[in-house]
Copies of this chain bind each other. A is one copy, B any other.
Amino acid sequence: MTDETPTSVPERKRGAGAKIVYDLLRDEILNLKLAPGSPIDEVQLGERFGMSRTPIREALVRLAEDGLVTTLPNRSTMVAQVDFLNLHTYFDALSLMYRVTTRLAAQHHRPADLREIRALQDAYAQAVQSQDALAMIAVNAAFHIAIAEAGRNPYFTGLSKRLLGEGRRILRLYYDSYDDQLPMHLVDEHEVLIQAIADRNVEEADRLAKAHAEQITRQVQKLLTRPGDSGIAL
């Protein structure tokens, strides 16, 4: 009967504090639940998570290293902006990572990798069917990360994770503009991509990945260049 309030303080374990905050904040940033530019108050977060500022601070440092948060020295820290002006550098990088990770996956994948990829593809199709844009975006990222993992190059996997994370924010804005009119054809593109990987057809995998990236690039660029000719948006 002398228990502490177990509802709001769920027996947090030693060393887990920073990770909890990091994971949740990261998700909220990538889902645009925290808008780019919003200020982040350490004390407020401390109250919210029921912990001291120290673990909060560690989470923020890690988020800053990921580029998801901008920290002005001695000044406030805020959610990083999406750099629309240099979006082409993003798509250049994404396209190259799509290509190289898919190539490597075709070369090095193992049975367990394919099962994982196919499971995520199923989840993706389901998210599309139930018109859940948020889930779709997250699962899409997980899908391509799984392919990258199957390629077994941690450097490429790392950059891919970073790009796909950032991509979640861009796609979120994209789908918001299109009123959640979800593109079924991406499901089919993923399907043939999986087939090429399973067949260990490296060149075909490369070609499809490149086309897939160009497809997405074209659609987003189309959205951003509605009035003029250079991608002005903000």
What are the residues of chain B within 8 A of A65 when measuring CB–CB? 62, 65-66
What are the residues of chain B within 8 A of A156 when measuring CB–CB? 92-93
Question: B-facing mask of A87-98, CB < 8 A → 1, else 0?
Answer: 001101100100
State which size class the interface on A falls in. 20 to 34
- Chain B binder among A113-121, A125-133, A147-155, A222-230: A147-155
A85 to chain B, nearest CB (A): 12
User: Which single member of B54, B62, B93 contacts A153 (CB below 8 Å)?
Assistant: B93
What are the residues of chain B within 8 A of A74 when measuring CB–CB? 14-15
Give A89 to B73 CA distance when docked, in angstroms. Answer: 37
Given contacts A155-B93, A155-B162, A162-B155, contact A15 B73 (CB under 8 A): yes
Q: Does A58 contact B (CB under 8 A)?
A: yes
Q: Are B89 and A153 in contact (CB under 8 A)?
A: yes
Interface of chain A, main secondary structure: helix
Question: B-facing mask of A69-108, CB < 8 A → 1, else 0?
Answer: 0000110000000000010011011001000100000000
* This chain: copies in complex: 2
User: Which single member of B66, B90, B159 contacts A159 (CB below 8 Å)?
Assistant: B159
Question: B-facing mask of A199-215, CB < 8 A → 1, else 0?
Answer: 00000000000000000
Give A61 to B18 CA distance when docked, in angstroms. Answer: 11
Q: Does A57 contact B (CB under 8 A)?
A: yes
Mark A residues whose CB is within 8 Å of B.
Answer: 14-15, 54, 57-58, 61-62, 65-66, 73-74, 86, 89-90, 92-93, 96, 100, 152-156, 158-159, 162-163
13 A-B contact pairs sorted by A residue (CB < 8 Å): A15-B73, A54-B54, A58-B58, A65-B66, A89-B155, A92-B153, A92-B156, A93-B155, A93-B156, A155-B159, A155-B162, A158-B159, A158-B162
